[in-house]
């Protein structure tokens, strides 16, 4: 027997043989010693690095039935999730499984369709006593987006459509245009679900982060992300979930770490009559804008040229921002006007501008 490993779509398998669901089972209390067993399976070694003991179950079928024998009193966690799938460049492909029924010793844990991402598991923890026998039953089905994604990968992603830079991942699940500079040096992931969408970068050398246009369950059309000349990023996530939306970032902008730009909300808000009140259509960031660490920029926001967005700021209000100002706070507001900023460290700037 061997430990279950991440499924690799490079293997010549039929799609119905590819793992479609995963369950991690581990003791919540940090303890590397074996404190429960699952018939016919070996424990996984990598959990020891987390100081825990546990098993990973990955299957291509639609039902899991496992018998768990508890060897000592423990808190036992069940983590239900989509499988880990990899593309040709060894990058994880985001996906999920639709769990339809999960029970332990006949008690329902999940009783209706519950979509679960591969990296955002549905967790359930129980207190188990020494000598307990736990019968785990789980049923699921492939999510339509997963099957579509696998089909697109195998049939519509020939060699050459995936950037040759191994640090760049592109999942282009439709008829879209992606234009990246040849000299781009960074770890960048691009996920597009829909049609007639466009991503373009103009002479950008370093841009690390993620760009998401649509999702497997929510493809969008006619959207664009435009990033201007000389703009750099150490870690920004851009998300679009509405048709005909755009994110436009000007020239010579600088993004720090942990930044998120939400051009769209991820769930719906309505008034009492059911009319949607939170549609997002654009985020416009001007030229030479510096966005600090862990800032969040929401939908329908325009940030003028020359501004600085302070670290941990939440820019969601529709108040007017002025060029060459510092924007900070939650909600963010103008805290200082008539400023300029430079990429040089303060000490470097002083030395360069000293007599």
pLDDT in tens, 231-253: 999 999 999 999 999 999 999 99
Rounded to an integer, the average pLDDT of 10-20 is: 46
Q: Does pTM surpass 0.75?
A: no
- ∠167-82-240 over CA atoms, to 5°? 60
The DSSP 8-state label assigned to residue 348 in this structure reads: H
Cα(193)–Cα(215) distance, integer angstroms: 6
Cα(210)–Cα(234) distance, integer angstroms: 11
Per-residue pLDDT reduced to its tens digit, 143-154: 655 444 444 433
Confidence of residue 268 (pLDDT cuts 50, 70, 90): very high
| Annotated domain spans of the chain | 7-147, 159-353
More confident residue, 106 or 10: 106
Half-sphere exposure of 26 (CA within 13 A, CB side): 24
Backbone angles phi and psi of 85, in degrees to 5: -115, 145
Confidence of residue 10 (pLDDT cuts 50, 70, 90): very low
Rounded to an integer, the average pLDDT of 78-104 is: 78
In three-state secondary structure terms, 148 is helix
Instruction: Check whether 195 has a pLDDT greater than 80.
Output: yes
With 0-12 / 13-18 / 19 or more C-beta atoms within 10 angstroms meaning exposed / middle / buried, residue 354 is: exposed
Closest CA to 43 of 25, 61, 29: 25
Q: Which residues contact 323 (CB under 8 A, 6 or more apart)?
A: 286, 304, 305, 306, 307
Residues annotated catalytic, as ranges: 267
Class of the 159-353 domain?
Answer: mainly beta
pLDDT of the residue at 187 = 84
Closest CA to 225 of 256, 270, 180, 266: 180
The DSSP 8-state label assigned to residue 112 in this structure reads: S
């Amino acid at each position: 027997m061997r430990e279950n490993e991440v499924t690799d779509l490079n293997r010549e398998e039929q799609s119905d043989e590819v793992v479609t669901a995963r369950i991690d089972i581990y003791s919540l209390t940090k303890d590397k010693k074996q404190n429960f067993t699952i018939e016919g399976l070996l424990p996984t070694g990598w959990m020891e690095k987390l100081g825990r003991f546990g098993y990973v179950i990955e299957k291509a079928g639609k039902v899991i039935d496992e018998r768990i024998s508890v060897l000592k009193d423990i808190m036992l966690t069940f983590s239900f999730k989509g499988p880990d799938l990899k593309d040709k460049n060894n990058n994880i492909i985001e996906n999920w499984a639709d769990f339809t029924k999960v029970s332990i010793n006949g008690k329902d844990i999940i009783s209706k369709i519950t979509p679960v991402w591969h990296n955002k598991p549905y967790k359930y923890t129980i207190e188990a006593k020494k000598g307990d026998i736990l019968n785990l039953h789980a049923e699921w089905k492939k999510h339509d987006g997963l099957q579509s994604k696998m089909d697109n990968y195998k049939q519509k992603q020939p060699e050459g459509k995936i950037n040759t830079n191994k640090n760049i991942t592109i999942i282009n699940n439709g008829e879209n245009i992606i234009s990246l500079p040849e000299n781009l040096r960074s770890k960048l992931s691009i996920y597009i679900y829909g049609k007639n969408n466009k991503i373009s970068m103009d002479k950008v050398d370093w841009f690390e982060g993620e760009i998401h246009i649509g999702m497997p369950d929510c493809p969008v059309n006619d959207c664009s992300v435009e990033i201007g000349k000389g703009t750099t990023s150490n870690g920004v996530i851009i998300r679009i979930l509405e048709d005909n939306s755009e994110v436009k970032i000007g020239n010579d902008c600088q993004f720090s770490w942990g930044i998120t730009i939400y051009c769209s909300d991820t769930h719906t808000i309505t008034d009492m009559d059911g009319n949607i009140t939170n549609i997002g259509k654009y985020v416009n960031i001007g030229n030479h804008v510096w966005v600090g660490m862990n800032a969040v920029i929401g939908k329908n926001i325009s940030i003028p040229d020359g501004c600085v967005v302070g670290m941990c700021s939440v820019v969601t209000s529709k108040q007017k921002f002025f060029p060459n100002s510092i924007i900070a706070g939650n909600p963010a507001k103008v805290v200082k006007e008539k400023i300029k900023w430079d990429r040089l460290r303060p000490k470097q700037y002083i030395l360069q501008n000293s007599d």
